[in-house]
Structure 1
Amino acid sequence: MPIYSYEAMDGRGIAVKGEIAAKSSDEAANAVAEQGYTPFKVTEKKAHGSKSGSFFRITQKVKLADLIIFTKQFRSLFKAGVPLVRTFQILEAQTQSRTLRQAISSILQSVKEGAALSAAMSNHGSIFPPLYCSMIEAGEMSGTVPETLERLIYIIEHEGKIKSDIKAALQYPIMVTIALTIAFFVLLTVVIPKFADTFLKAGFELPLPTLIAISLYKFLLNYWHLLIGGIVVLVFGLRAYFKTENGQYMRDSLILRIPVIGELFIKAAMSRFASIFGMLQSSGVPVLSAMKVLSGVIGNRAISREFDRVRDYMGEGQGIAVTLKTAKFFTPMV
């Protein structure tokens, strides 16, 4: 999501500056206005070393372990009764991640200017996802921030474990696929041509699969540059298409249809839904707001659309159990 720099005035007429993550300049201006400021300049901040419209963007991410440590330290200081401003000064001083330290500094400045903690965190969407900010906001409203931080720690650690399990489950199939691809090209470009020359000199008639393999070898030998060019164009084309909403939906739908892998992703998404939805409800987040948050953090565009459909039906007065029964991907247990 793009980052916008803004200049605004608060209710006392004092100029303030800051950064906010938003999809457009209008959305950024509205978000600044919701914080109680009057924006008079909103400009998109360009990433260093990148250009607008480039296929490659330099983005700085915070490691999951750093976010967990930050949340645990924040919880400990908050439970100890340390004032919020002092808490963030301490966190800024001892955080190892440079990106997270800069975000903490920005949050600290926003809090000093009177912004709510959840609003200040939402300005850094690449670090604090909507789920994180929504739960902090619910904790602020209900006065249960320490308990909310406890639940956040559990969710983040649970999410990290699920991602680790998925990577471990996919590691062996990926290694086998790479090995088979390498073996196929070695067989096609080295082994088969040598045996084919030997058989042809001996006057043997080659079988159809061998003839097809020889034809593929000749094609690679004569048109390898076209093949590489086609692959490059295909990669860039798919990369651009997958940045669109329809492209992401198509990609995620295809992933869910892959045997074994698709079922693994669906089970992981349902586990994520159950744990996060339960935590949001325990934190006092309304059901419709919880479904909106889940739609943005579930990690799959196809399942996310189902959440949007469920939320629309619930907004019309239908119960959550009835709508989930008619939705795709949701198991009878859910």
Structure 2
Amino acid sequence: MASIDISNLKKTKKKPAGTPESVASQITALFEKDFSFGGSGLADEKKEYLYLELGALLRAGVDFKSAFELVASGQKKPQDAALFNRILQDVVEGASFSMALKGSGKFTLYEIYSIEIGEESGQLQQVLADLAYFYKTKITQRRTIISALTYPAIVLSASVGALAFMMRFVVPMFSDIFRRSGGELPWITQKMIAISDGFGLYGGTAALAVIVLIAVAFYYRNTLWFRDYASRIVLRTPLAGPLTQKIYLARLSNAMRLLINARLPLLRAIILCRQMIGFFPLEKALAVIESDILSGVPLHMSMQQFAVFPPKMIQLIKVGERTNQLDAFFEWIGSQYVAEAELQTASLSRIMQPVIIIILGIVVGVIVIAIYLPLFQISSNIQ
């Protein structure tokens, strides 16, 4: 197919910032934005856009230079446009696309070696499509979780704030009235006043301790001992543990499918997945699996010694090894875990909402009862 020159195509004009359409799009973009807190990599949304658009343009017969220029022109941030233009300049000067990505320092080895295999095998377009699908799945998982947990998180935060306000200001105000009135207070009122007094005395210290713990966790977040300890806690947490396991198993399966489909050796695929998976139990398991495969142990037999891999997944990989269809079985496993993770996330959201409301109602009801019981006694004594 002959190459298509699109260098002379005109860009579409943007709508004025004050139009209703632009305001709505800005609000939508705010919720879909991928925030980066000090990370050195490129946002997942931008990687998906790069691989999807570049692959589509190459399949349409556009030459690489024109296709990449068009992708770079779609970047809104100057630093992103500069990054893409620098990559294109490296390619124009003779570097391969994979080496240009590596030189930018913004892409993982998983992406670099996948594209390198695609360049060597003449399947770059397929590799780009697979990478776009991988990041699309990853983004969808993250957005599903955020969407499902946003409402419960807002309700929980508002509830904690309201209870803290009542315990810090409302209950002490009534406790002064009760103390001046004299008489024996109901048991529930005494306990509520004691909790309120403790909140006033130690609330600031407790808040400071929480802030210190968060700061320590943030500081040590990349150390092996902290990642090991934190992952153990997460996996043992009801509901959240199985959900986290399925999300990372789906990510591992999709990555293995892509690498094996790109004709990368199994051992090399495992090494790359270990470097990019970002979940300590899987990283630890894959490090041992690498050594076992070098010793001639089949993949499914090496996976059996780790509880992070479910028996069903191991059996499917065993069949994939015997039939020489590991890529197909990893694709099936990944799609299954993605569907299960989305279903479990939605179920978790549906469970959390009424539970939070019920707990909040019980706590507020106890506080109201503790406040009004002495008021009833005071009114009866006056009569």
State whether TM-score is above 0.5: yes
Matched letter for residue 150 of structure 1: A
Match of 1:282 in 2: 261
Matched letter for residue 242 of structure 2: E
Q: CA deviation at 1:240?
A: 1.0
Q: More displaced, 157-166 or 184-193?
A: 184-193
Query: Does 2:302 correspond to 1:323?
Result: yes
Q: Percent identity?
A: 22
Match of 2:213 in 1: 234
Q: Distance in 1 between matches of 2:311 and 2:105?
A: 34
How is 1:160-199 mapped onto 2 (pairs within 5 angstroms)?
160-199=139-178
Q: Distance in 2 between matches of 1:171 and 1:299?
A: 23
Distance 1:253 1:122, change over 3 A: farther
Match of 1:51 in 2: none
Distance 1:270 1:243, change over 3 A: closer
Does structure 1 conserve the Cα–Cα contact (< 8 Å) formed by 2:248 and 2:277? yes
Match of 1:110 in 2: 90
Match of 2:131 in 1: 152
Match of 1:39 in 2: none
Query: Does 2:102 correspond to 1:122?
Result: yes
Match of 1:270 in 2: 249
Q: Distance in 2 between matches of 1:269 and 1:176?
A: 28
Q: 1:243 aligns with which of 219, 222, 229?
A: 222
Match of 1:95 in 2: 75
What is the number of equivalent residue pairs in this alignment?
277
Does structure 2 conserve the Cα–Cα contact (< 8 Å) formed by 1:199 and 1:206? no
Task: Tell me the secondary structure at the aligned position of residue 304 of structure 2.
Answer: helix
Q: Distance in 2 between matches of 1:326 and 1:60?
A: 35
RMSD: 2.8
Q: Distance in 2 between matches of 1:148 and 1:83?
A: 17
How is 1:22-101 mapped onto 2 (pairs within 5 angstroms)?
58-59=38-39, 62-101=42-81
Taking CA–CA contacts closer than 8 Å with sequence separation of 6 or more, which of the two structures ends up with the larger relative contact order? Answer: 2
Q: Which sections of structure 2, spanning at least 5 residues, go unmatched?
A: 1-35, 314-383
Q: Which has the larger radius of gyration?
A: 2
Distance 1:172 1:90, change over 3 A: closer
Q: Distance in 2 between matches of 1:238 and 1:64?
A: 25
Q: Distance in 2 between matches of 1:283 and 1:93?
A: 29
Match of 1:50 in 2: none
Does structure 2 conserve the Cα–Cα contact (< 8 Å) formed by 1:62 and 1:99? no
Q: Distance in 2 between matches of 1:57 and 1:65?
A: 15
Q: Which of the pair is proportionally richer in helix?
A: 2
Q: Which of the pair is proportionally richer in strand?
A: 1
Match of 1:137 in 2: 116
Match of 1:258 in 2: 237
